[in-house]
Structure 1
Amino acid sequence: MTREPGTPLARPSASLVEAARAEIRNITVEEAVGLLDDPTYQFVDIRDPRELVREGMVPEASKAPRGMLEFWVDPESPYYKASLDDGRTLVLYCGSGWRSALTAKTLQDMGFDTVAHLDGGFTAWKASGQEIAQVER
């Protein structure tokens, strides 16, 4: 049976995010602030580069667009980046926490066990008045 365009999906994106959050480590902004200077954690912004230029990012965070992160952490991928697979816990974040929750779950499913996500994403980070690093084009 083919789904008619515009009709509800069998599993909407919000339910996927909710299911992912139930299985991953969720970090609050308050916890994240305490981890910024911890050398065993690496913050990773998975938003689109245009979002970074427009809004800024968490200071010292790495940039890894969501569409590439799974490949960048996989040692068997031609796109592997050892800097994202050096034993530190990756704290992923996006705009609102939806993309980062799904990505953290995907990395976990791949066997990447040192991953968490910033609950509420960069929106929560900004709303709490935390420092923001500007990103040049």
Structure 2
Amino acid sequence: MKTAHDLVTQAKNMTQEISLHEAEQAMLAADVLLDVREADEYAAGHLRGAVLMPRGLLEFKLSASPALSARDIKVVVYCKTSGRAALAAQTMQAMGYLNVASIAGGYDAWVAAGKAVVRPEQPSYE
């Protein structure tokens, strides 16, 4: 019986995972940057230009989005630590997407490296 860890390891072996350094260039060249975390995670902070598409809804949202229907678009995917992103990349490949890469270490590694993120403005009560 496979565990979630086994499935993530398998997905990482079957997909392209890029380093943070490579991610910056890949994001500039990408047609879309997908954040596959949950809405509350995205709202707390995300990479600039990222489109929220939670992992649990990925297949449905991709199928319903004409802008993402071309299978040759360049896609960069990330999540919190890279597990969901690897699974998302594997799913997208199974759906026929040809150019999908996930960011190694995900959002947490991006933040730990001191890279810029978008965070909601906190209200001032003064």
TM-score where L is the length of structure 2: 0.86
* Unmatched tracts of structure 2, length 5 or more: 122-126
Shift of 1:44: 0.6
1 or 2, which has the higher helix percentage?
Answer: 2
Deviations 1:1-42 (A, max 9, x none): xxxxxxxxx11111111111011011111111123332x442
Q: Aligned residues, how many? A: 120
Match of 2:47 among 44, 58, 64: 58
Cα 1:130–1:85, aligned 2, differ >3 Å: closer, same or farther? farther
Shift of 1:114: 2.0
Give the aligned partner of residue 28 of structure 1: 19
Give the aligned partner of residue 96 of structure 1: 81
Aligned residues: CA RMSD: 1.6
Shift of 1:122: 0.5
The structure with more radius of gyration: 1
The secondary structure found in structure 2 opposite 1:73 is helix
Distance 2:21 2:80 in 1: 17
Identity %: 32
Match of 1:82 among 58, 66, 72: 66
Give the aligned partner of residue 67 of structure 1: 56
- C-alpha contact 1:89 1:115 (8 A) present in aligned 2: yes
Distance 1:91 1:68 in 2: 17
* Unmatched tracts of structure 1, length 5 or more: 1-9, 75-79
Give the aligned partner of residue 122 of structure 1: 107
